[in-house]
């Protein structure tokens, strides 16, 4: 007896095609996010040069001419121990005593060759609109590199001096010396190396300092200015 239920007439279900739209939307979103990240990175790097730039520019002093550098100009330069650096703090703002306070802060961080503070002759009106400047010549690039790890929001300025000294000019937006944790870690490594190599560590020596982890160097200046 036939059951009346047959299998021969049952239609096979067709293969359900998945719509490609959700996948395309996801790909589009990921692409947009990647573009935003890239644009933000480029814009941020461009903006940082504007943020740290001092206005007005420093006036030439005693035959020295000043050339502003980019924020990353010293990224390929190895730092040297702080006790090997001849640095002077100059006040380019109207904040009285700021240069003295900054001098003592740097001395506590190991910059033992720091000179007496003074007013900045390149800003006679004391109107440097910025956090500050590191000014140095060709022979002071490594010294300036060390200071830039401690003061990541100051402008880098190359001048025509012949020695390895560095001037830190503090502007109207300067707060205090507050290096990042990574910056302090680098200073500790440099100081330990200097104690082990008392005759090395300056700009002219063959062994100018220890090898510092590039990631640590980058993190020391990864701040919002």
158-215 pLDDT per residue, tens: 999 999 999 999 999 999 999 999 999 999 999 999 999 887 656 655 456 789 999 9
Residue 45 lies in a domain: no
For the chain, the residue count is 225
Question: Residue 10 pLDDT more than 60?
Answer: no
Residue 59 lies in a domain: no
Angle at which helices 181-196 and 141-150 pack, to 10 degrees? 140
Residue 89 lies in a domain: yes
The rounded distance, in Å, linking the Cα atoms of 47 and 45 is: 5
Residue 55 lies in a domain: no
Question: Residue 110 pLDDT more than 60?
Answer: yes
Residue 7 lies in a domain: no
pTM passes above 0.75: yes
Per-residue confidence (pLDDT) for residue 30, from 0 to 100:
54
The model's confidence at residue 1, banded by pLDDT at 50, 70 and 90, is very low
Number of domains in the chain: 1
Per-residue confidence (pLDDT) for residue 46, from 0 to 100:
60
Residue 132 lies in a domain: yes
The rounded distance, in Å, linking the Cα atoms of 166 and 155 is: 13
Domain containing 184: what range? 66-220
Residue 104 lies in a domain: yes
The token pair at 192 is 């330990």
Question: Residue 150 pLDDT more than 80?
Answer: yes
**pLDDT above 70 covers what percent of the chain?**
76
Residue 79 lies in a domain: yes
């Amino acid at each position: 007896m036939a059951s009346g239920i047959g299998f021969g007439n049952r239609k096979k279900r067709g293969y359900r095609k998945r719509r490609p739209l959700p996948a395309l939307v996801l790909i589009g979103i990921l692409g947009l996010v990647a573009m935003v990240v890239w644009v933000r990175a480029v814009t941020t790097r461009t903006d940082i040069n504007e943020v740290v730039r001092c206005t007005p520019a420093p006036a030439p002093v005693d035959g020295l001419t000043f050339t502003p550098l980019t924020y990353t100009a010293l990224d390929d330069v190895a730092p040297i121990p702080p006790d090997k650096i001849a640095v002077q703090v100059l006040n380019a703002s109207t904040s009285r005593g700021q240069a003295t306070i900054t001098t003592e802060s740097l001395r506590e961080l190991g910059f033992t060759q720091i000179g007496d503070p003074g007013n900045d002759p390149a800003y006679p009106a004391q109107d440097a609109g910025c956090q500050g400047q590191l000014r140095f010549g060709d022979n002071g690039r490594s010294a300036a590199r060390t200071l830039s790890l401690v003061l990541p929001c100051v402008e880098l300025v190359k001048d025509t001096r012949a020695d390895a000294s560095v001037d830190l000019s503090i502007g109207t937006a300067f707060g205090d010396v507050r290096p990042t944790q990574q910056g302090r870690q680098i200073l500790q490594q440099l100081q330990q190396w200097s104690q082990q190599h008392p005759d090395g560590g300056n700009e002219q020596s063959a062994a100018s300092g220890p090898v510092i982890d590039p990631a640590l160097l980058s993190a020391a200046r990864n701040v919002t200015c």
